[in-house]
Amino acid sequence: MIYLSTLLMSLFVTVALIPIFIRVAMRFHLVDIPDARKVHTTPVPRCGGIAIAVGACLPIVIWRYSGEFIGAYLAGSGVLVAMGMVDDYRGLDYRVKFAGQILAAVIVAIYGGVRITSLGVLLPEDMVLPGWMSVPLTIFAIVAVTNAVNLSDGLDGLAGGLCLLSLCSIAYLAYLAENLMVVFLAVSLAGAIFGFLRFNTFPASLFMGDTGSMFLGFSVVTLSLAVTQGPTPFSPWLPLVIVGLPVMDTIAVMCERIAGGRSPFVADKNHFHHKLLRMGLFHTESVMVVYVLQGIMISAAIFFRYYGDGFLLTVYLVFFSLVVSAFVLADHIHWRFQRTGFMDKAIKGRLRALKDQGFFIKTAFRGLEFGLPLLLIGTCFVPESFSLYLCIVAAIQMAVLPAVWFFRKSWMQNALILTLYLFIPFIVYAAADSTAFRIDGTSVEMIYHGAYLWLAVFVIATLRLTKRRSGFKISPSDFLIVFIVLLSPLIAGAWIKEKVLAEVVAKTLLLFFSYEVLIGELRGKIGRLTAATGIALFLMAMRG
């Protein structure tokens, strides 16, 4: 459960910080100005990378992880984030950026122990590279991938989605290799990216900037090397497949520039996503095509994880040749995507009509509106009983809600939120600490945990599809959530194991987050939600 809590924490923090950073970016003109190479037409804030970095690194502080690798990773990331912020605000010479990237790579290679020590079939069997070779090679690989991801950040949601796919595969492979530290970092980064994509999908309301793209590129290559180098069952060439398309795109575009007699470092509009746009694909379609290509690479990394080095290199080179050849041929014959009535009307038109009618948001919202109160009420039946103190508190809260409703209705929403903040941690703790029971051979505990996963689906879908211009909002008092969650088990009078504490934190954060979204979507119509909360309080009071 610590991974779920980490995912939710990084997502929650990123989503909460982005509106604040957008206002700051607009205040100080930290925006991306359109030019001939860019596809957006209006200035867009480029502060998303800062929110991603804070959201991804905060769980490390909360859970107090330490060690040489963590310290080196944070130090290297700090160098790139600081340099990226300056570059996004004022611009930096490319030589300064390279120097910063090299410094970050040196930190994780020398002090963090992340080194390429094996090249598989390219070296004699069991040969380990000496330090004077492995350190420069590692630095080169980290800097190369960092820049490859930076260059891939050309369309809304593109770089973030590519890194999210890579991090999911890294987390899975690290879990198989029992490298739990890498799992933790990959999950935290994935949560932050997912929160960022809420604002970065087309049409984007902010960009990650060089701060985000360099930070993510550095993180992806560092974690992929950490999980595949050393005593692991995986091929040392697996990171090439995991990083996949960004490296492939960078190599292809540089070769094209050299073949045309230009410098390989001169910017142009010949990346894969630019070519897809010239073929006649829409913005979102181009992004989806790139996602699919990256997904093929990620699937190959997972399914062929135990295969030999030669096989992996062959798979990558064959796929590289097919993709590049397809783009070269399309450019040569000036191929354009031909739209058909079936595609645009029967499929996309029908989906667009359903979206315009609000079918998807209504489905997600109804699932959240009815599923969330039912889950809270159902949680009241999980513990065998509640302590007398909790029953008294629940009874008092149950009496306060109708009193506020009748005498100070304008206070009702704040009273409901306060009641939920005080009520949820205790009931979740009581459920997590109870003994699992079974009905007809089916574990109720499994059904209970599954309900939280469905809740996460509904709340994320609601956030993604909502038409509210302001989106999810957070108030300063909401930052007390973490404090309440961490202290609630101690207030309940028990020192519990870390596993139970992690479960309490994860589920409580998800419930808090879901109620914030639901109350915002209800737009003040909280009568049924208040009644459902009263029922849950009544059950808790009566089951003492």
Mean pLDDT by 10 residues, the chain (544 residues): 72 82 78 58 75 89 79 92 86 85 94 85 73 89 91 82 90 88 90 83 78 92 90 86 88 86 77 84 83 88 86 90 89 76 54 61 83 87 78 83 82 81 79 57 68 81 64 40 41 44 71 82 83 87 78
E-strand stretches of 197-337 = none
Residue type, 235: S
The contacts of residue 164 (CB under 8 Å, 6+ apart) are 190, 193, 194, 197
pLDDT at 18: 84
CB 197 within 8 A of CB 160: yes
Q: Is the bond leading into 19 cis (omega within 30 degrees of zero)?
A: no
Q: CA angle, corner 181, sides to 197 and 456, nearest 5? A: 40
Residue type, 142: I
What is the separation, in whole angstroms, between the first and last Cα of the chain?
Answer: 28
CB 312 within 8 A of CB 237: yes
Q: Which helix (H) or strand (E) holds 20?
A: helix 2-27
The contacts of residue 379 (CB under 8 Å, 6+ apart) are 427, 428, 431, 448, 536
Would the pTM of this model clear 0.85, i.e. be above it? no
Provide the total of helices (H) and of strands (E) in the chain, helices listed first. 22, 4
Residue type, 204: A
